[in-house]
Structure 1
Amino acid sequence: MKKILLITVLLIGLFPITSEAEEMVTVRLTNYIEDSSKLNVEFKGAYRSLDPTLAIKEGVNYQLTVDEDSLILQGENGQHTFKEPLIFIPEKYDEKHILYINGRPYLGAMEFRVEEDDTIRPVNQLPMEDYLKGVVPFEVYPSWGLEALKAQALAARTYATSHLNEEIDDTISYQVYGGYTWKEKTTKAVEETSGEVITYKGKLIEAFYSASNGGVTENNAHVWGGKSKPYFPIKKDPYDPIEPWGFTLHRTQIDLKAIDWDIPNWWEVLEEKDKKITESMKRYLKRKGYWGDLKILAIPNFTVSDKQLSSKRSVKGSITIEFMERLFGGTVLFHQYHLDGVNLNRIRPLIGGTIFKSYLINSFQSKENSYTMKGKGFGHGVGMSQWGAQAMAESGKSYKEIIQFYFPGTRISEFKK
């Protein structure tokens, strides 16, 4: 919280944001930056830092690296070392002052921190409305109908406003934010709904949305638990395009009997059958503490319970993964990872959210050599369907009608702090 307040005070004190006080958004950049110990930074327009000895030059390609707990900034005037977080602030806030990180443009102030694993973490702070101009074109297609884009702008603004004074990130964990990569139509949608939020009984709602609900909306309590909200009913959605999806997962990914253990590069030549799914499994297992090089051998068990919610979404399932882990030095360990009778939201990340797209499962077949799942929808299904909103816009509905359909009983209000 202290870091958020520090940048905010600097921004307000060093340059005017707007004629009226505008809420600030603080965004931790991970989506495009990932975990890197080296970043390229460039400036357009005049910027300053808190270090009076550091003169920032426009157009110079600076390299930012980590040395133990310190940041090293290398430019045409030599090298500078910083023990504390490095903050850059534009002399004036406008579209002529841009900070580039690895070529991606950002407006506003930028703080660079060193994280525990020697990762440089940029944190961007800028006014709410300009943040939204960098969100909407990355959450929906910027070529969509203006009324659908306005509905998305309202949902995004309401969601962001409910997380004010928090440090959010630029991923789907919050909202995808692409920096100063604005599009004309989505910018217009943000500007024409400026300051508007969605409320219920005078309070901000959690304006959830997903790509597609598969033809039926879902209640928040079914997905995240807690108290059921009346503006998240389970009902049929005649506007959602109900795009079907499906995938096949082979039981055996690598046949142990076929491995030639005598060749020097036996590990390198091993390939799983379902590479996209097994890569998701490896990322998941590494987050669970298996740090070595991994190879997925088999999925001997994968089941989905017959129990369904009133929205016809499946709830629980089980999966077992057999895999090898090669440690530093060449030692190979054999493991099994079990999830038995758990909520499917624990299994879906193993398969991958872009493959196992929703819990609205039409069929699941367990065969001798493989598993096949088919379903519809893309995402949790709570709140607004983005594709449904586009279909409503194409049919002539206004953004206010779209909001009322997906968040019934709510009102569109001017945000007041």
Structure 2
Amino acid sequence: MDTTLKISVENVLDFLKNIPLSDATVRYYRCCYNNILSFCEKKGITRFSTAEAEEFYQFQNNRFQSGKVSKVYILIMRRAAFLLAEFCASGKISWGRKSYNQPKLCPLFAKVRHDFEKICACSLSQGSTVFLSQAVKRFLLFLEADGHRNFSLLNYSDIKHYILQEAPAHKGNMINLTWPLKKFLAFLKERQYVEINAEMLLANPVPSRKKVLPCFSRKEVDAIFSAVDRSTPLGLRDYAIMKLALSIGLRACDIVNLQFNDIDWHRNEINIVQQKTGNSLVLPLLPDVGNALAAYILNGRPKTDNSFVFIRMRKPYHNLKRHAIGANIMKRYMECAGISHSAGDGRTFHAFRRTVGTRLVEAEIPLPTVSQILGHRNLDSTKCYISLHDEGLRICCMDLRSYATTKEGLA
């Protein structure tokens, strides 16, 4: 066995220890690398690249298909293999969520997409930049599948065919399909990759459907919060997260980015810069929210120097990601509360924020004040909560008693 490969394995294990992962997890990874080293010795492999990592994963996947190992086992094996390949290639390791087997663009398309992403990052939020980059990748993969390797033959017909292919997935909001295309094609024209002007083709998409999603009823809120076991560290964390969302209407992205210096315990305030708008927002630290936060910080939060309030319950103690509190928390407690959920029904983590807005409107708080509390940039974003105030809408109904019914059978 090549000693260089063994040294690389030890370097990877040292990196995992310093993240830090738990001792038990590091020992598990060592077992994985013993398997990888044994595989390399049998195959005569002395240089471990992504190709060898993929070969090793396929070997383990075949074992999974035959029922010899579990799915979790091969996923950890895959992660270990690609970490080693990354270290062998660059001498460095980036720890985080990995995407495997993603289709790759040809060199020119990959470069153009990267340049476009950098331009977008200068003027747009991170979320918008990622959204545009992903949409552009889909378009470029479509062009590759159609035989394009550069933009010299790109024409209106290609754009039209792509829109027709993708349109069924964007029935509710065609602008999510046309906006990335418009920006990318304008970028291509500015960089002189193409001469076509797609502005006319993409100028007037179908208007977005305005769907009013529901908020949680008081009964549903009580059921969800009652399902939380606050005798456990996980329960204390999740309870505090949901309290922030329900009591002061923080978005999931702002909750996961909340840091200790954002909380002013003396003034009972929370000071944040909203990720979505970039605007500063000062909110009251209500007693029940403060108590929930204190209970989690003192009795449930793992001991670590991480400056983010909400972190993983297991090593490495990184701050949570938005999807972790959005999907995972809601699934965990809605199932316990007996509340069903299906795609598009509005029963998501963001429904807590809609509940706050609706309750404020029901309490006859002026709309501009509601907008300020929720951190909206304009009133149009707040007006949707009027649609959820049934009693208030009934007052607006026209009295039809003065209009006599003359049609026979209706009188």
- Normalised by the length of structure 2, the TM-score is 0.29
- Normalised by the length of structure 1, the TM-score is 0.29
Normalized per residue, the structure richer in strand is 1
Larger radius of gyration: 2
User: Which structure's relative contact order is higher, taking Cα pairs within 8 Å and 6+ residues apart?
Assistant: 1
Normalized per residue, the structure richer in helix is 2
